[in-house]
């Protein structure tokens, strides 16, 4: 329950919606009890069971007072008055009152629901927003550890699960206890003895139900994590459809999917079996008690007959059983709700897990704005590891304004990691990175990142127009600015040839464009941002010579006049770099310009250039 209390915080300023819910519910409960209590006068009337003294009392209009007795007397006065005109009138009257109270019961029930819906939809909206916002603030390392499918399922099916709990179970738990208390008061008024007897049912069924619902939470947890894995498989399959087909891996994928799907089915099957057991159990327990009441109450009536007219009478006994049968409904609803709440708790946990994940890379409270880059970026003895194993060891270098620094080394040596440290996708483990002499952790991340642009190997494009893909994150961009950027990136010509020019939608991840076109769009995006510092993870994917020429030109345009950190794969592109760092085992092993390094007889760089036939 503690987890739910935490989720309810999201309702805070809107908690007032709950007040009308309680008011309407109370009124509704009153009328629903009233409608069953009306059975007593109906039966009394039909069986003519009133004594002569009572009949005398009902013959005159009672004097007004705010008491149950007054309304009862008034009711009988009306009934007998009508009966004296024509007996069926009295029946019309009683039936009319029953129908009116049913209408009122349902009207107030509806009003109560309506006021709850407000709070419920708000809770769900805010919860989703909170998760999404948190996801946008979490450090990058989080996303390599967590499965994408799992995150999607937390955002989706877990939130749905909470919505279901909020819409049904919470309502039931807020409302039904009143209903039950109301019914029990009515029962108590009719017969205290019998009511005490029925109370026995509560501890017995509570124990049974607790046993049944105990494991529900674990099963629900299994189900939700399984959904996460299913989503991961679906996502991977959709993304890798071409490869799956080309490698005839369809069977493999199907098997993987079906194994997971089977697991899900089993988990949900166990859950269902258990959940369905709970209401069945409570119903059997309830009916057994009704049988007990029949025996106990019935014998009370048999004893009373003719001996003690003020004891329990048949009409009251029938009303008692009718009302008691109604107690079963909220009791059953509460059992089901408790079972669902157990299930929902698993989801609540999974959601809170995201919300509680500490943000490892965040702005300091006293962070300042980085307004401009004027002199130098400096890495000083930087070490870093994603886990305990160090990836970078004691890396030091400086990158002066307007210069180009190239990182060269075998795959996995940590080049991209160095690039990721500059915009603080991760924070260094030791050492420091500074801009113009100030540690980058002193700046707000937004201002730090606004000074940088990325062109990465895996080009991230969104299913949106070309315009929006270039002007990413800047909705107020002008057509002219976007067009200028596209021209510098050698992209304008192909863009205007597309169906709707800059407004053409490029499909999922830019699927409707060629590799070279996608690259030029991502370059245009970097140009448009007009950053002081450029981080370039040079593409390895082979392009045809024509495309490559365009892309190369675009890159040169982009780099000119900027400070660039380039991760180089083809040495031909970095001949012009001011400094080249050769990395090995997470360390810088050689540094210098192309011509300096090539002069060194045994240099790794020289060997690499010979391999790539660049002299």
85 DSSP 8-state letter: H
- Shortest separation between residue 466's beta carbon and ligand ADP, angstroms: 29
Cβ proximity to ligand ADP, 417 vs 469, nearer residue: 417
Binders in 375-404 for ligand ADP, by CB under 6 A: 386, 391
Tokens representing 584 are 């090995």
Residue 389 or 497: the one with the smaller Cβ distance to ligand ADP is 389
Radius of gyration for the chain, computed over Cα atoms and rounded to the nearest angstrom: 38
How near is the Cβ of 362 to ligand ADP at its closest, in Å? 18
Give every CB contact of residue 17 below 8 A, 6+ residues apart in sequence: 115, 116, 118, 119, 122
Under the criterion CB under 6 A, does residue 11 sit at the interface with ligand ADP? no
**DSSP for 513-541, written as a single string:** S-HHHHHHHHHHHHHHH--SEEEEE---S
* Segment contacting ligand ADP by CB under 6 A, of 18-26, 342-350, 406-414, 522-530: 406-414
Of 41 and 423, nearer to ligand ADP (C-beta) is 423
In 3D space, the residue among 98, 122, 99, 137 whose CA is nearest the CA of residue 18 turns out to be: 122
> Does the protein bind ligand ADP through residue 458 (CB under 6 A)?
no
Which neighbouring-strand residues pair with 432?
A: 380
Select 385 or 501, whichever has its Cβ closest to ligand ADP: 385
Report yes or no: 418 and 379 within 8 Å, Cβ to Cβ.
Answer: yes
Within 10 Å of residue 482's Cβ, how many Cβ atoms? 24
414 counts as binding ligand ADP under rule CB under 6 A: yes
**String of contacts with ligand ADP for each residue 99-138, x by CB under 6 A:** ----------------------------------------
User: Distance (Å, rounded) from C-alpha 226 to C-alpha 260?
Assistant: 7
Least distance to ligand ADP, CB of residue 604, Å: 15
Q: Which positions ≥6 away from 581 have C-beta within 8 Å?
A: 397, 405, 406, 407, 408, 588, 590, 591
Q: Which long-range contacts (CB under 8 A, 24 or more apart) does 298-301 make?
A: 300/191, 300/193, 300/194
Q: Please, what is the minimum distance in Å from the beta carbon of residue 235 to ligand ADP?
A: 18
Nearest Cα neighbor of 461 from 515, 508, 523 is 508
Closest to ligand ADP by CB, 136 vs 497, is: 136
For β-strands 430-435 and 438-439, DSSP reports them as antiparallel
Cβ closer to ligand ADP: 248 or 411?
411
Instruction: Point out which span in 13-21, 81-89, 124-132, 411-419 binds ligand ADP (CB under 6 A).
Output: 411-419
Q: Is 366 exposed, middle or buried (0-12, 13-18, 19+ CB in 10 A)?
A: exposed
- Position among 213, 313, 416, 451 found at the interface with ligand ADP (CB under 6 A): 416
Question: Which residue's CB is nearer to ligand ADP, number 163 or number 590?
Answer: 590
Q: Which of 212, 413, 558, 580 touches ligand ADP (CB under 6 A)?
A: 413
> Between residues 391 and 506, which has the closer beta carbon with respect to ligand ADP?
391
Q: Which listed range, 4-12, 120-128, 164-172, 415-423, lies at the site for ligand ADP (CB under 6 A)?
A: 415-423
Return left, alpha or beta for 276; rule: phi > 0 is left, psi -120 to 50 is alpha, else beta: alpha
Determine which helix (DSSP H) or strand (DSSP E) holds 334, and give its type and residue range. helix 314-356
Distance from C-alpha of 41 to C-alpha of 405, rounded to nearest angstrom: 96
* Part in contact with ligand ADP (CB under 6 A); list of ranges 156-164, 356-364, 407-415, 460-468: 407-415
**Distance from the first to the final alpha carbon of the chain:** 71
* Residue 492 in the binding site for ligand ADP (CB under 6 A): no
**Sole binder of ligand ADP in the list 109, 343, 415, 449 (CB under 6 A):** 415
> Using the rule CB under 6 A, which residue among 1, 85, 144, 302 binds ligand ADP?
144
Phi, psi of 583 (to 5 degrees): -105, 145
> Which residues does residue 454 pair with via DSSP β-bridges, in sequence order?
535
Cβ contact 319:36 at 8 Å: yes
Nearer to ligand ADP, 310 or 387 (CB): 387
Q: What angle do CA 414, 416, 420 make, to 5 degrees?
A: 115
Beta-sheet pairing, 533-537 with 563-567:
parallel
Q: Which is nearer to ligand ADP, 219 or 538 (CB)?
A: 538
35: nearest Cα among 114, 113, 110, 108: 108
Closest contact distance (angstroms) between CB of 582 and ligand ADP is 12
Q: Does 417 bind ligand ADP (CB under 6 A)?
A: yes
Nearer to ligand ADP, 105 or 417 (CB): 417
CB nearer ligand ADP, residue 53 or residue 611: 611
Between 144 and 248, CB nearer to ligand ADP: 144
Part of the chain binding ligand ADP (CB under 6 A), chosen from 232-240, 374-382, 413-421, 550-558: 413-421
Only segment of 189-197, 261-269, 414-422, 513-521 that touches ligand ADP (CB under 6 A): 414-422
Shortest separation between residue 421's beta carbon and ligand ADP, angstroms: 10
- Asked if 154 interacts with ligand ADP (CB under 6 A), we say no
What tokens appear for 598 in the block? 């090539």
Pick between residue 421 and residue 461 the one whose CB is nearest to ligand ADP: 421
Tell the smallest beta-carbon distance from residue 409 to ligand ADP (Å): 6
Q: Which two tokens stand for residue 126?
A: 């805010």
Query: Look-up: residue for tokens 């008690």?
Result: 289
Helix, coil or strand: residue 581: strand
Residues binding ligand ADP: what is the number (CB under 6 A)?
12
Residue 411 in contact with ligand ADP, rule: CB under 6 A: yes
Q: Tell me if 14 sits within 8 A of 281, measured CB to CB.
A: no
Q: Which stretch binds ligand ADP (CB under 6 A): 60-68, 330-338, 412-420, 511-519?
A: 412-420
Positions touching ligand ADP (CB under 6 A) are 141, 144, 386, 391, 409, 411-417
């Amino acid at each position: 329950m503690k987890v739910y209390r935490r989720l309810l915080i999201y309702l805070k300023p809107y908690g007032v919606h709950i007040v009308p819910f309680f008011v309407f519910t109370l009124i509704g409960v009153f009328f629903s009890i009233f409608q069953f209590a009306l059975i007593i006068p109906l039966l009394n009337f039909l069986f003519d069971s009133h004594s002569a003294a009572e009949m005398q009392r009902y013959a005159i209009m009672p004097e007004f007072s705010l008491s149950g007795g007054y309304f009862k007397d008034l009711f009988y006065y009306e009934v007998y008055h009508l009966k004296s005109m024509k007996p069926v009138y009295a029946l019309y009257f009683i039936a009319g009152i029953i129908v009116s109270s049913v209408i009122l019961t349902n009207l107030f029930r509806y009003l109560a629901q309506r006021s709850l819906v407000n709070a419920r939809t708000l809770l769900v909206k805010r919860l989703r927003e909170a998760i999404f916002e948190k996801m946008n603030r979490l450090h990058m390392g989080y996303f390599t550890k967590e499965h994408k499918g799992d995150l999607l399922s937390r955002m989706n099916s877990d939130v749905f699960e909470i919505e279901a709990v909020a819409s049904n179970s919470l309502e039931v738990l807020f409302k039904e206890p009143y209903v039950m208390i109301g019914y029990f008061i009515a029962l108590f008024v009719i017969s205290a003895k019998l009511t005490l007897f029925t109370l026995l049912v509560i501890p017995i069924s509570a124990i049974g139900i607790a046993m049944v619902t105990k494991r529900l939470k674990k099963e629900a947890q299994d189900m939700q994590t399984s959904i996460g894995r299913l989503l991961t498989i679906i996502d991977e399959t959709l993304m890798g459809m071409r490869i799956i087909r080309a490698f005839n891996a369809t069977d493999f994928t199907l098997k993987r999917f079906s194994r997971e799907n089977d697991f899900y089915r089993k988990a949900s099957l166990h859950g269902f079996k258990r959940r369905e057991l709970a209401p069945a159990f409570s119903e059997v327990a309830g009916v057994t008690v009704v049988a007990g009441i029949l025996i106990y109450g019935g014998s009370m009536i048999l004893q009373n007959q003719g001996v003690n007219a003020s004891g329990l009478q048949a009409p009251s006994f029938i009303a008692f059983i009718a009302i008691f049968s109604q107690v079963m409904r909220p009791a059953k609803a509460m059992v089901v709700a408790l079972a669902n709440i157990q299930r929902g708790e698993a989801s609540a946990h999974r959601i809170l897990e995201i919300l509680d994940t500490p943000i490892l890379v965040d702005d300091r409270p006293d962070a300042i704005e980085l307004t401009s880059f004027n002199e130098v970026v400096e890495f000083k003895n930087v070490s870093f590891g994603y886990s305990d194993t160090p990836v970078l060891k004691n890396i030091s270098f400086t990158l002066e304004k307007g210069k180009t620094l190239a990182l060269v080394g075998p795959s996995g040596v940590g080049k991209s990691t160095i690039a990721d440290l500059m915009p603080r996708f991760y924070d260094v483990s030791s050492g420091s990175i500074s801009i113009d002499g100030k540690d980058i952790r002193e700046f707000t991340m937004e201002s730090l990142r606004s000074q940088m642009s990325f062109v990465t190997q895996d080009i991230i494009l969104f299913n949106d127009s070309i315009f929006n893909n270039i002007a990413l994150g800047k909705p107020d961009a002008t057509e002219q600015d976007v067009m200028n950027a596209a021209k510098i990136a050698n992209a304008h010509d192909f863009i205007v040839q597309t169906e709707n020019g800059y407004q053409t939608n490029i499909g999922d991840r830019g699927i409707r464009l060629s590799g070279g076109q996608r690259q030029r769009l991502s370059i245009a995006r970097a140009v448009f941002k007009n950053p002081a510092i450029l981080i370039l993870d040079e593409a390895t994917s082979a392009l045809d010579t024509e495309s490559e020429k365009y892309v190369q030109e675009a890159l040169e345009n982009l780099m000119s006049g900027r400070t660039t950190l380039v991760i180089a794969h083809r040495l031909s592109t970095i001949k012009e770099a001011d400094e080249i760092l050769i990395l090995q085992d997470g360390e810088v092993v050689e540094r210098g310009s192309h011509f300096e390094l090539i002069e060194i007889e045994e240099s790794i760089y020289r060997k690499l250039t010979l391999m790539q036939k660049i002299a």
